């Protein structure tokens, strides 16, 4: 039980530190279209900011808002950890939270992979295929893992209910 409390503490600290960043991202996403930020050298998820190009601004805003998907997944993970600490493992909210976490992470990984490919083509004018482990693929795999975990918990919940009914 001590390990889950340590994990809960780490996730809570990440949550607390991410809240001001959420406000900054929302403000930045609105301001990028109205305020000239040409002097700043801004780079988010390998997308360089070009104050003149609309595509650059759009990619930067989508990349910033993609961060909010990860923060939302972190929120659902906190909910799951709260249920685990209270030893309510097979609750329906745990199963749905795992599925939501998986969907959010998978979508976030696909969006960040797409943004990275578009920005490489647009800014560097080159197409390259790289094999190996990158952050986008890892996020997609984590999303798929959480989706599978929700299915496993659903099966385990049904098995637990059947076992509770038998004498």
Per-residue pLDDT of the chain (167 residues; tens, 9 = 90+): 789 999 999 999 999 999 998 888 888 778 777 776 666 666 665 556 666 677 777 887 888 889 899 999 999 999 999 999 999 988 999 999 999 999 999 999 999 989 888 888 877 777 777 777 888 899 999 999 999 999 999 999 999 888 888 76
pTM: 0.84
Q: How far apart are CA 135 and CA 87, in angstroms?
A: 32
- Angle at the Cα of 147 from the Cα atoms of 145 and 152, rounded to 5 degrees: 90
Torsion, CA 151, CA 153, CA 155, CA 160, rounded to 10? -170
Q: How far apart are CA 137 and CA 147, in angstroms?
A: 15
Q: How do the domains of the chain map onto residue ranges?
A: 2-165
Q: How far apart are CA 143 and CA 103, in angstroms?
A: 6
Return the closest-CA partner of residue 105 out of 113, 116, 115.
113
Local structure of 44: helix, strand or coil: strand
Under a CB-based contact definition with an 8 Å cutoff, are residues 115 and 63 in contact? yes
Under a CB-based contact definition with an 8 Å cutoff, are residues 97 and 80 in contact? yes
């Amino acid at each position: 039980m001590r390990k889950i409390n340590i994990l809960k503490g780490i996730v809570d600290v990440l949550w607390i530190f991410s809240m001001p960043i959420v406000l900054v991202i929302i403000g930045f996403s609105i301001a990028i279209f109205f305020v000239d930020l040409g002097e700043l050298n801004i780079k988010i998820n390998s997308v360089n900011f070009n104050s003149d190009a609309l595509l650059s601004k759009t990619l930067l805003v989508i990349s910033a808002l993609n961060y909010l998907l990860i923060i939302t997944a972190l929120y659902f993970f906190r909910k799951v950890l709260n249920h685990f600490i209270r030893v309510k493992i097979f609750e329906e909210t745990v199963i749905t939270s795992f599925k939501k976490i998986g969907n959010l992470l998978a979508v976030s990984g696909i969006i960040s992979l797409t943004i990275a490919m578009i920005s490489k083509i647009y800014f560097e004018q080159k197409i390259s295929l790289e094999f190996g482990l990158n952050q986008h693929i890892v996020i997609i795999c984590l999303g798929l893992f959480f989706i599978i975990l929700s299915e496993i918990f659903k099966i385990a919940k049904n098995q637990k209910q059947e076992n509770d009914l038998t004498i």
